[in-house]
Structure 1
Amino acid sequence: MAKTVGEAAASLGVEAHVLRHWEEVGALRVPRNSNNYRLYDEEALDSARTVLKLRSVGLSLPEVVAAMSAEKSTAQALVKAKITKLQAEILTRQQAITYLQHTVECRHRYLDDCPDCLGFVREK
């Protein structure tokens, strides 16, 4: 059974205006009834869930639109670029953890006195 925009929003955990905005920018296509009311069938709800998932993994709304493009090469190129960016962020976070872990365990009173700490801060 199809849901209204309010019912769909509630089931997805978003506000109705969010779903309307996604439709407005082309991230979501929703069938309408004879009175032009949006009716969220299972296909539309799954599309909305896909938008939510893509947003939760870090894609901006324009990136979501591109990732959901009918042209597979466009979607793949965008997703590959996002993967590369996320991998770089992971590396940066891992380096931050290594540095911070060292500062916790550092035997020097002041971090500037530690050659290892200085080595970390001099890295680019």
Structure 2
Amino acid sequence: MRTIGEVAAELGIEAHVLRHWEQVGALTVRRDGNGYRSYDDDALEQARTVLKLRRVGLSLPEVTAAMAPKKSAAQAVVRAKIAALESEVGRAQQAITYLQHTVDCRHRYLDECPECAAFVREL
């Protein structure tokens, strides 16, 4: 069994973050006889999962849904996040392509370049 401070230190986060996760239902923690939070191995693993899901971009409501007992509900949330991330990757790749062209462009001014103009029209 671990205290909230020990778990927070192990995960590299503040104790108030763990309290917030518990408050919003993303984390379930037992209390000891004195009412103090007591983290067993299962609670620690759940906290690690919440942290990882947050770090890959899920909001707390999405984390809670992704950890739902019904696998189909969890999968729907994760699939939606994957689609959103893939869209972001696509936009980032377009930005890189455009910016790389502007670096390599032989035209003195970008508005003189037909390729730059084509990129601008895509926005």
Class of the TM-score when normalised by the shorter of the 2 chains: over 0.9
Show the counterpart of 1:79.
Answer: 78
Structure 1: 4+ residue segments shifted above 6 A:
none
Match of 1:93 in 2: 92
CA distance in 2, matches of 1:51, 1:58: 11
Q: Deviations over 1:68-103 (max 9, x none)?
A: 111111111111111111111111111110000000
Q: How far apart, CA to CA, are the structure 1 residues paired with 2:53 and 2:65?
A: 11
Which one-letter code corresponds to 1:66 in the other structure?
Answer: A
Aligned pairs, number: 123
Greater alpha carbon shift after TM alignment, 28-37 vs 99-108: 28-37
CA shift at 1:16, angstroms? Answer: 0.6
Q: Distance in 1 between matches of 2:7 and 2:51?
A: 13
Q: Which residue of 2 aligns with 1:13?
A: 12
Cα deviation code 1:7-63 (max 9, x no counterpart): 111111111111011001100001111112111111111110100100011000110
1:46 corresponds to 2:45: yes
In 1: Cα distance, 2:73 partner to 2:24 partner: 17
Residue 119 of structure 1 aligns with an amino acid whose one-letter code is A
Tell me the TM-score normalized by structure 1.
0.96
**Secondary structure at the counterpart of residue 20 of structure 1:** helix
Letter matched to residue 39 of structure 2: Y
- Alpha-carbon separation, structure 2, partners of 1:16 and 1:82: 27
Q: 2:63 aligns to what? A: 64
Give ranges in structure 2 of 5+ residues lacking alignment: none
Instruction: Name stretches of at least 5 consecutive residues in structure 1 with no aligned partner.
Output: none
TM-score (norm 2): 0.97
- Matched-pair identity in %: 68
Equivalent residue, structure 1, for 2:119? 120
The alignment's C-alpha RMSD in Å is 0.8
